């Protein structure tokens, strides 16, 4: 990069504009284009109006916080995916509920030509971590860049990658250890965007949306498989601008949260095939795209920017269990992805958005939230940020991976960095990474035993860093 140093807010605006999925709902892309085209320093509050549309009105505050939260991963990382079906969670059973209005289609099995290439594995010096090259194809690059969280940890262990390819199809790969990968199938139909995935007793459910054709609006969709080699695509809503964003498992079976013409939407299913809409009560109309979690006791909706948390046993009646304290002016707290700690409690690494286009971790401070049960949260201090990236849990502690920052100027990003910690407060860099150049991190996920960092190197090749411990 040459010329005068870029203003941090200008960099954030450019980064924000490049972070929008090419197949994201048109309303989201329009809103972000509007936000990123406004003069700097014109921050205004969000409001929700129209067909599930967020009018950002120049508020880089919320946009930066939300995208900073998901830039290197999902809303929920790996073992931090609170739903743990098969581990004390009621599995979907009984007769299917009323099916959603749509047909189901089955995906074709992959041809031998589509199988994953042979991986090249390199042991990092002085570390138990390995660099894996060529295990997965690089996902399609859209006009907005690489985007989204499309690599997930499975609740029973292992990982799933749902990669968009240049043809518009989404290819599904799975791995038990993050090193050896098998391709399962392609998700029908073409042009799908996957946002989350979970499983229960052998049934895997992925959710997302399909962009409408010829000017029609997007529709929320779920994909279900019990054999892995073929998937059923089931529309959760008509083409009304709806999208499915999160899926979890709890007492009522599979639960999906998303957004639509009337704001937040919920769908439920016992078997992942027959779905029905759930009308929630107790959730304010202005709640913005909350994360959904679940376990044997119920479900949790967590708004991560200006944090608020609600709990429900069946998805219908919700009770607020946490509301972060307010800050003055345009400043707001934000939580990061909620991850399950090795001791069974929960953590979230977030920060403070200052109202000036800068989220505080960029400046060096990370706020730590702790919870014994996902519902009741306490801010337990702050730490110096070891790097700007995504967090995950691993055997014995935590991992953060992203790009090393050398100053508050976002244009001064350094090479790829990975740091580990036994308590989430004292971090040390992972050995053997000094030679890895500046790269774009796509995901940081952990299944409790392994952590997988997916990144694209300067040559445009997808690389994986896989670790099974703190060293």
SS3 string, 346-377, reads: EEEEEEEECCCCCEHHHHCEEEEEEECCCCCC
Domain segments of the chain: what residues? Answer: 8-107+118-467
Q: What's the DSSP call for residue 399?
A: E
**Beta-sheet strands, E only, within 251-364:** 253-260, 263-269, 276-278, 291-295, 298-303, 308-312, 319-323, 332-334, 338-340, 346-353
Percent of the chain with pLDDT over 90: 38
CB 255 within 8 A of CB 292: yes
333-367 pLDDT, tens digit each: 999 999 999 999 999 999 888 877 666 665 558 89
Q: What is the pLDDT of residues 36-79, one digit of tens each?
A: 333 333 222 222 222 222 222 223 333 333 333 333 333 333 33
Rounded to 10 degrees, the C-alpha dihedral 29/34/36/39 comes to 180
Q: What does pLDDT average to over the chain?
A: 73
Pick the CATH number of 8-107+118-467 from 2.40.340.10, 3.40.50.150, 2.130.10.10, 3.40.710.10: 2.130.10.10
Greater model confidence, 448 or 275:
275
What pLDDT sits at residue 412?
A: 54
Share of the chain above pLDDT 70, in %: 68
Distance CA 426, CA 435 (A): 24
Residue-level pLDDT at 358:
61
Residue 453 has pLDDT above 80, yes or no: yes
Residue recorded with tokens 């099916």: 99
Ordered strands of the 451-456 beta sheet: 120-123, 130-133, 462-467, 451-456, 440-446
Greater confidence (147 vs 16) lies with 147
| Per-residue pLDDT at 415 | 78
Q: Which two tokens stand for residue 418?
A: 């990975």
Express each pLDDT in 366-424 by its tens digit: 899 999 999 999 999 888 877 668 899 998 999 999 877 655 555 555 678 899 999 99
The residue that leads in pLDDT, 443 or 66, is: 443
Q: With 50 as the cut, is the pLDDT of residue 151 above it?
A: yes
Tell me the mean pLDDT in the region 143-155.
69
Write down the pLDDT at residue 206.
Answer: 94
Across residues 269-289, what is the average pLDDT? 93
What single string gives the DSSP state of each residue in 195-226?
EEEEEETTEEEEEEEEPPSTTPPPEEEEEEES
pTM of the model: 0.74
* Residues 85/200, Cβ–Cβ less than 8 Å: yes
What band does 284 get if pLDDT is binned at 50, 70 and 90? very high
- Which letter does DSSP use for residue 410 in this model? G
Residue 266 has pLDDT above 80, yes or no: yes
Q: Which tokens go with 5?
A: 């140093």
Dist. CA 410–CA 149, nearest whole Å: 22
Residue 160 has pLDDT above 80, yes or no: yes
Spatial distance between the Cα atoms of 276 and 314, rounded to a whole number of angstroms: 13
Strands 130-133 and 462-467: antiparallel
Average pLDDT over every residue of 153-159: 87
- What is the pLDDT confidence band of residue 167, given thresholds at 50, 70 and 90? confident
Residue 196 above 90 pLDDT? Answer: yes
pLDDT at 289: 85
pLDDT at 298 over 50: yes
Query: CA 345, CA 200: separation in Å to the nearest integer?
Result: 21
Q: How confident is the model at residue 230 (pLDDT cuts 50, 70, 90)?
A: confident
**Least confident among 85-99, 103-117, 303-317:** 85-99
Q: What gap in Å lies between CA 307 and CA 115, rounded to an integer?
A: 42
């Amino acid at each position: 990069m040459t010329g005068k140093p870029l203003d941090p807010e200008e960099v954030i605006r450019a980064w924000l504009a490049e972070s929008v999925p090419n197949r994201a709902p048109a309303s989201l892309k329009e809103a972000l284009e509007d936000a990123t085209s406004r003069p700097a320093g014109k921050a205004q509050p969000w409001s929700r109006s129209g067909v599930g549309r967020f009018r950002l009105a120049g508020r880089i505050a919320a946009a930066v916080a939300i995208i900073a939260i998901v830039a290197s991963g999902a809303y929920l990382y790996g073992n931090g995916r609170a739903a743990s079906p098969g581990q004390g969670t009621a599995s979907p059973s009984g007769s299917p509920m009323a099916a959603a209005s749509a047909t189901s289609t089955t995906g074709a099995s992959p041809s031998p030509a589509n199988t994953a290439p042979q991986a090249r594995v390199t042991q990092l010096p002085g570390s138990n971590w390995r660099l894996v090259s060529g295990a997965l194809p690089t996902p399609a690059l859209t006009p907005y860049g690489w985007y989204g969280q499309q690599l997930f940890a499975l609740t029973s262990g292992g990982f799933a990658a749902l990669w968009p390819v240049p043809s518009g199809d989404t290819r599904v790969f799975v791995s038990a250890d993050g090193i050896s990968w098998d391709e399962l199938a392609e998700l029908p139909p073409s042009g799908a965007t996957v946002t989350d995935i979970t499983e229960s007793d052998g049934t895997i459910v992925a959710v997302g949306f399909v962009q409408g054709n010829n000017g029609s609006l997007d529709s929320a969709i779920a994909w279900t498989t019990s054999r892995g080699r073929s998937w059923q695509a089931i529309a959760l809503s008509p083409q009304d601008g709806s999208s499915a964003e999160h899926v979890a498992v709890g007492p009522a079976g599979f639960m999906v949260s998303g957004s639509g013409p009337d704001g937040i939407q919920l769908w439920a299913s016992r078997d992942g095939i027959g779905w029905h809409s759930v009308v929630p009560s107790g959730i304010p109309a202005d709640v913005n795209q909350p994360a959904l979690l679940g376990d044997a006791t119920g479900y949790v909706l967590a708004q991560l920017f200006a944090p608020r948390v609600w709990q429900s046993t069946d998805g219908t009646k919700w009770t607020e269990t946490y509301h972060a304290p307010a800050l003055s002016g345009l400043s707001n707290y934000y939580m990061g992805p909620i991850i399950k700690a090795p001791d069974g409690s929960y953590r979230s690494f977030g920060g403070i958005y200052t109202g000036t286009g800068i989220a505080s971790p960029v400046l060096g401070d990370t706020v730590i939230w702790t919870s014994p049960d996902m519902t009741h949260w306490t801010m337990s201090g702050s730490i110096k940020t070891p790097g700007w990236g995504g967090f995950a849990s691993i055997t014995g502690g935590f991992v953060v991976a992203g790009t090393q920052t050398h100053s508050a100027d976002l244009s001064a990003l350094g090479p790829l960095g990975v740091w580990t910690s036994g308590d989430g407060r004292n971090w040390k860099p992972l050995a053997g990474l000094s030679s890895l150049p500046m790269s774009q991190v796509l995901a940081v996920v952990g299944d409790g035993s392994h952590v997988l960092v997916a990144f694209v190197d300067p040559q445009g090749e997808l690389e994986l860093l896989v670790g099974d411990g703190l060293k």
